[in-house]
Structure 1
Amino acid sequence: MKKILHISKYYPPYHGGIEDVCFNIVQALKREYIQKVICFNDSSNSILSEVDGVEVMRASIICEVASQPVSFSFYSLLKKYIKVFEPDIVHLHVPNPLACVYLLQCLPSAVKLILHWHSDIIAQKSLYKLFVPIEKKILERADKILVTSPQYLDYSVPLFHYRNKAVIIPNMVSLNKLQLKGCEEEIDELRAIVCKKRKIVFFMGRHVPYKGIEYLIEAEKYISSDCIILIAGSGPLTEELKKNSHSDRIKFIGRIPDKDIKIYMGAADVFAFPSVTKNEAFGVVLAEAMYCRAVPVTFTIKGSGVNWVSVKDETGLEVENRNAEAFGKAIDLLLIDDKLRIDLAENAHKRVVDMFTIDTVQECLQKVYM
């Protein structure tokens, strides 16, 4: 059996889009490959653990700068793992600048490098200029570059000269995590007790600028239908968003336990996804909501895979970027027109089943690893 060393920024139980994708890939390939994971810890200790039968080494960090964990121990641990484990393939999830720097120093030429390109570096523009030479070297070293959507590949400047290496591998959702059978009573209880049988507009995600939550709050005044807007998650903007929210229809409900996510998505009529920049490269949570038949409303984001995951007027509604009025009216249309909402919900569910499940993505990954 071939051996794969996965390198992620963090790894579950730490939550994040890249982390969930890495975890899903590891789970999908457990039977066919011997796998280990190395990532950063979120503390000053290095910890060796096991997650669902796979060894995970979490390297100690001293701080985090511009979303990058800083760790000196990561290099020595990575070097040791490559020497002792002797992987046939290294699967590196990026952006992760420090891991790129370290890997270029210790990766043998005979080891195949798969670069999983989740997004360009967008926010840290000044620091990014310093990283560009390293980025070019890691792209040149890569045997294959996995990109999560055709749109992202088309508009990514760093990937322009490496398109011949690119393979479209969409992110996947775990259907086990989203199985709604047997949850009907809990869904009905949420609708009856928490939402008093009003239709539900649901948002879930980190409260950071690119998520565009302020546009959802602004959109509320353009929704004439009786509904409740549930905003789940937390982040650096939470308190500011709460201060700017003046409607009793908007409820901030904090972080939802993993086991309850499908309950909220299953209860939701509309999934509000107001991200505004290509920092939102794909939207795993968007695909999860679509699987649960919560119909998405999105903004048009040039160069993002969001508008490939959900297809305009086929699986959801899409409006001009940052246009809060149009966003609110699109939500209102879905709340008013039950037939439209149900038709889009079924299309959304089918698209996820056909394109974004572990089974469909697994076959593509195995071809890349050959």
Structure 2
Amino acid sequence: MKKILHISKFYPPYIGGIETVCHEIIVHSHRYQHRVVCFNGHRDSMNDVYEGVEITRVGPFASVASQPVSFSYFGRLKRLISSFEPHIIHFHAPNPLVSLYLLLVIPRRCKLVVHYHAEICTSKMLYACYRPIEQWLFRRADVIIATSPKLQTDAAALGKFQKKCTVVENVITTDDLDISPDDEKRIEELKRRFGNKPVVLAFGRHVPYKGFEYLIEAERMIKNDCVVVIGGEGPLTEELKAMSDSPRIHFVGRIPDDELKLYLHAASVFAFPSITSAEAFGIVLLQAMYCKTPPVTFTIPASGVNFVNLNGVTGIEVENGNAAAFAGAVDMLLSDSEMHAGMGAAGRERVIRNFTWESIDAKIAEIYDSL
């Protein structure tokens, strides 16, 4: 049995886009033996078993520009590779410090798959230091996975490595989003909580690239009677609340996993105001589209967001950072029931056809087996 070592920034039960992708690959690739090494959510290091898979979680002692830092990671990674003897290392990038560690310890015999999720946009200084390591990583890679055709062609870092690149789209498990009769009652209760007004929903970590401040600005220009529900938490939460002076905006905090589908089905519009290529795909877009909730997005260079949401087909895309255009797109969806229904149905169909595990199972197996 071929052995695969996955290196992810974090791993479930920690919730995040990259972590979800790594988890889905492991859950569905039954023909291989998997191990995972990642950072822990706190400073203590530990080994545990999650859903039958052995996980090495390394505690960081600090974080720099949202990147965990641990010097002990190097030794743990080296020992793990020596003991597990993987045939393939599946590395989820970006993960700057661990990229360097990996390049220093990976055996020649070991094949390397680099799963490139996003460009680093949080710090130009950090990326300037990291870029030589990143290029070394791509040179060493046997295969580079991009999560969308747009990311593959537009990301400057991949320019010289197109022959190594292949596209494997991110996917979701749709069973988690299907609703029962009991769920329908809970959805109606949720709507009543917001006065039975159309819900414009947004959620995610409250960090700069998510662009929530543009949604708050757009709310002032939305003409339709509605409420704007913002879920999630983060370092900008209090600042965003301070910006909001409208009774139509409701901050609901972190939405529990078992309630997420209720919010998505209750919403009329899914607002996705991310503004940089740090938002490289948008798995939550897939979730909203599967629930027939059309999204409004900005145009983002080198991002798969505008590959996921097809402008004028599954939702509406507007000029990056243009809050007035964003508000206008929300109003269009709230005012035109025929457009709303058509985009909702098209979005669900697009997800079913292109973004479920069944659509990429063969791609992952082909990559692993070819190595």
- What TM-score, normalized by structure 2, do the two folds share? 0.97
* In structure 1, C-alpha distance between the alignment counterparts of 2:7 and 2:178, rounded to whole Å: 29
* In structure 1, C-alpha distance between the alignment counterparts of 2:241 and 2:272, rounded to whole Å: 18
Which residue in 2 is equivalent to 1:5? Answer: 5
Which residue in 1 is equivalent to 2:202? Answer: 203
Aligned length: 368
| SS of alignment partner, residue 158 of structure 1 | helix
Residue 278 of structure 1: how far off its partner (Å): 1.1
Which residue in 2 is equivalent to 1:143? Answer: 142
Residue 200 of structure 1: how far off its partner (Å): 0.7
1:138-188 CA distances to partner (integer Å, 9 max, x unpaired)? Answer: 110000000011111111111000010001011111223222234211111
- What TM-score, normalized by structure 1, do the two folds share? 0.97
1:338-363 CA distances to partner (integer Å, 9 max, x unpaired)? Answer: 11101100100111111111111221
Greater alpha carbon shift after TM alignment, 52-61 vs 123-132:
123-132
- Matched ranges for 1:1-370 at <5 A: 1-29=1-29, 31-182=30-181, 183-192=183-192, 194-370=193-369
* In structure 1, C-alpha distance between the alignment counterparts of 2:279 and 2:132, rounded to whole Å: 24
| SS of alignment partner, residue 109 of structure 1 | coil
Q: Call closer, same or farther: CA 1:221–1:60 in 2, change over 3 Å.
A: closer
| SS of alignment partner, residue 120 of structure 2 | coil
Letter in 1 for 2:296: V
Letter in 2 for 1:266: H
* In structure 2, C-alpha distance between the alignment counterparts of 1:85 and 1:357, rounded to whole Å: 30
Letter in 2 for 1:38: V
1:182-235 CA distances to partner (integer Å, 9 max, x unpaired)? Answer: 42111111112x112111100011111111111111111222211111000011
Question: Can you give the 5+ residue segments of structure 1 that lack an aligned partner in the other structure?
Answer: none
* In structure 2, C-alpha distance between the alignment counterparts of 1:123 and 1:209, rounded to whole Å: 9
* In structure 1, C-alpha distance between the alignment counterparts of 2:269 and 2:362, rounded to whole Å: 32
Letter in 2 for 1:99: V
**Percent of counterpart pairs with the same letter?**
47
Runs of 4+, deviation exceeding 3 Å: none
**8 Å CA contact 2:121, 2:276 repeated in 1:** no
Letter in 1 for 2:61: I
| SS of alignment partner, residue 314 of structure 2 | coil
| SS of alignment partner, residue 156 of structure 2 | coil
Greater alpha carbon shift after TM alignment, 132-141 vs 175-184:
175-184
* In structure 2, C-alpha distance between the alignment counterparts of 1:60 and 1:214, rounded to whole Å: 33
* In structure 1, C-alpha distance between the alignment counterparts of 2:357 and 2:149, rounded to whole Å: 19
